[in-house]
Amino acid sequence: MAETTAAEAAPRSEDLDDPGNYINRELSWLEFNERVLELAEDASLPLLERVKFAAIYASNLDEFFMVRVAGLKDQIEAGVEKRGINGFTPRQTLDGIRRRVLELAGRQTTCVEQALLPGLAEHGIRVTRVADASPAEQEVLSEHFRRVIFPALTPLAVGPGQPFPYISNLSLSLGVIVRDPASGHSTFARVKVPIEILPRFVAIGKKSKTFVMLEDVIAHNLDSLFQGMDIVDYDVFRVSRDADLSVSDEAEDLLRAVEDELRRRRFGEVVRVEVGTGMSEELLNELIAALGVDAGDVYPIDGPLDLTGLWEIVKLPGHAELRETPWVPPIHPRFRADDEGRADVMTAMRDGDILVHHPYDSFSNSVERFVEQAVADPNVLAIKQTVYRTSDDSPLVPALIRAAERGKQAVCLVELQARFDERTNIVWAKALEQAGVHVVYGHPALKTHAKCVLVVRREGDGVRNYVHIGTGNYHSATARLYTDFGLFTTDPEIGRDVAELFNYLTGFGRPSSYRKVWVAPSHLRQGIAEEIDRTVAAHSEQTPARIAMKLNSLVDQRCIAALYRASQAGVAVDLNVRGICCLRPGVPGLSENIRVVSIVGRFLEHSRVYAFERDGEYTVYIASADLMPRNLDTRVELAVPIEDGALRAEVLDTLELFFADTRNAWDLHADG
C-alpha cells in the first residue's frame, strides 16, 4: 500500500459532506492497477498469463496518463483549484499519482526481470542483451540490423536549422549525444525505435526463441547511424501525450469534428517522459528543455521501458503448458438448433425471457445469431442497434448492411467518441451510410453508451418487438474475455421503452418517463436513489433489507451518500467494485454495514448489476452504466429489470459467488 497521507489518516465523521469520507478517484484507480500487477506477481498462475498481466498493467497505465493525468495537468495550467470528491486539489492529486506510480514501477521491473524473464528462460524463451549474446548470435543480429532495421531508421540531429524533432505519442526513442572528433562539437540526436513496423523483440534467427529488444540492437549499432562520429552518451526515453478528445457541444458535423480531433491527438501536450534511471544529467537536461516539461513529468524506470511490448511474447505460438486452458463458450441451452444446426434465437425468445452470461455463454451463437436471423427473416421490418465498440471483423455491422440491401429499415447509432476506437467507428459509419443504413452519431455532449438491439417483426395483424439489452459492447473479441450479462426479451413494455429510446436518439424529443427501463442522463440516478430509499424504508430487525451491487467504478458522490445513509439505517450493503471506488467501507457511524470487494482475474469483470432486497424479495437490474458522474450525467445509458424469477435467481447466484470468493478477491478497508 502507498504511504498514508495526512488526509487519509484523519478521523472521519458521520457528515456525508466531509471530504475525508471519500477516497481519491485517481489514487483508487492506481490501487486497481496494482491488483493487475499482483496477478503478474502471482506464482500460482501460468507463466504466460502472468506476462499478459504485466503487459496489461503497462497499457492500463499508458491510458491513465493520456486521459486522467492529462486532464489534471489541464486543470493545473488553467489555475483550477477546485478540490475533488476527497478534498484534494489537482496538484495534490498529481503529486500523489507520481509517488504511487514510481513505487509500482519498481515492483513491475522486479517482477519482470527477476521472476518472469528467468521463468521464461527455463521454458526455452530467452530474452537477453546484445552484450550477453554469443559471438555467433551477435553476428546474426548485426546482419539482421543491416538488412531489416537500418533501412527503417532516421537519425535526427538537433542544431542550426535542425530543430528538436516532434516526438509522437507513446513512441520509444534513443537520445544520443554525438561528438565530431575533428571539431570537438557535440550535439543531441534522436533515433526513433520503429516499434510500429518492426517487432519489439528481435529473434536471433528465423525459428529461434532467443530474443533481444529492438532498442538494444539499435543502440549496439549506433556507429552505423553516425559514421565518423564519437558516441558520447545514449539512453532510451518514451513520451506520453494528452490523447483525450475534446469535441465542442456546438459541433454541427460530429463526424468531421471527431476526425479533426483525431488528427490533433498526436500533437497533444506531453504528460509523461519515461527515462532509464541511468540516464546522465546532461542527456536528461537536454530532454527536459527540448520537450518543455517539468522535472515532475519525468519518470525514471530501472528496467526496460514500454512493457506493453510483452504482448509479443504472450502471442508466441505453442507453450500450452504456460497458459490457461482455452475456454470454448457453449450455446445457451434455450437456443435450440434450427434445421441447419444454428441457434434459433427468436423462436426461443417467444417462449420467454433469456439471460446470457458471456463468456460462459456463446456470443456468436446468441447476440450475433440474433441479428443474422433477423436479417434473413422476411417478416422483420426493422433492425436498430447501438455501436459503442465493435471489432474490425464483427459480423454485426455487415449484417445491418445486408438488412438495408434487403429493403429492411436498418438503423445504427454509432458512437464516434468511444475512446481509442474512434477510427474504427468512423470507418464503419461511412460503410454503413454508403450501403443505405440510417446512421446516427448522437449528440456531441452525450456519448451513447447503452447497449441494445431492437428487431421489429410483423406477426399476425401487428408487430412484435424483439430486444437485446446488454452490459457490454457488441464486440466479438472482448465477449470472449469480458464477463457481461445480456437479456433477450419480447416484453411489450420493454420493447416500447427501447423503441422510444431509439426515437429519442435518432429524432428530436425526450421521453418524460419510461415504463420499465432506466435511462441516463434523465432517469437512471433517480431510479437507483429511489430503490435505495425504498430499501431503507423497508428495513427492520424483523425483516432486514439488503443492497448488493456489481460494477466497474463507484465515484458518484450522490450515489455514495445514499449508500452511506442506507448503512447508517442498518441496511447491509455488499459491493463488488472491480476498479475505482471512492466509498470508504467500514467507517463507524458511517459505513460499518458496507463491504467492498474487487475481483480481478482471468476474465475482465464488466457486468453491472443493481439488486435490492426487501421483505425477502429482490428487485434486480442489469445495466450499461457504472455509478460515475460521466455515466449518469453525460452519457446515454440503459438499465433493464430482470423480472423472470429463475433468471433473477441466476443473477443473484453470480453476485453471491463474488462475495464468497476467498481465492481471487481483494477486500477494501477504510484506509483505501
Residue type present at position 302? D
Grid cell in block for residue 57 = 498493467
Residues 6+ apart with CB under 8 A from 339: none
For every residue of 165-231, DSSP letters joined together read PP--TT-EEEEEEEE-TTT--EEEEEEEE-TTTS-SEEESSTT--EEEEHHHHHHHTHHHHSTTSEE
Rg (CA), the chain: 27
Residue 185 known to be catalytic? no
- 296: cell is 515532475
**Options 358, 449, 475, 539, the catalytic residue:** 449
Q: How far apart are CA 91 and CA 76, in angstroms?
A: 7
The answer to whether the beta carbons of residues 130 and 61 sit under 8 Å apart is no
Cell 473479441 appears where?
Answer: 477
What phi, psi does 384 have (nearest 5°)? -125, 135
Residue 365, C-alpha cell as written in the block: 451463437
Give the helix/strand (H/E) hosting 423. helix 422-434
- Which residue blocks in 363-421 are alpha helix, DSSP H? 369-376, 396-405
Which residue shows C-alpha cell 514510481?
Answer: 102
Cα(245)–Cα(247) distance, integer angstroms: 6
Pairwise CA distance, residues 401 & 383, whole Å: 11
Beta bridge partners of residue 621, listed in sequence order: 610, 641
User: CB-based contacts of 561: which residues, under 8 Å, 6+ apart?
Assistant: 16
Q: Given its phi and psi angles, is residue 386 left (phi above 0), alpha (psi -120 to 50 degrees) or beta?
A: beta
User: What are the residue numbers of the active site?
Assistant: 449
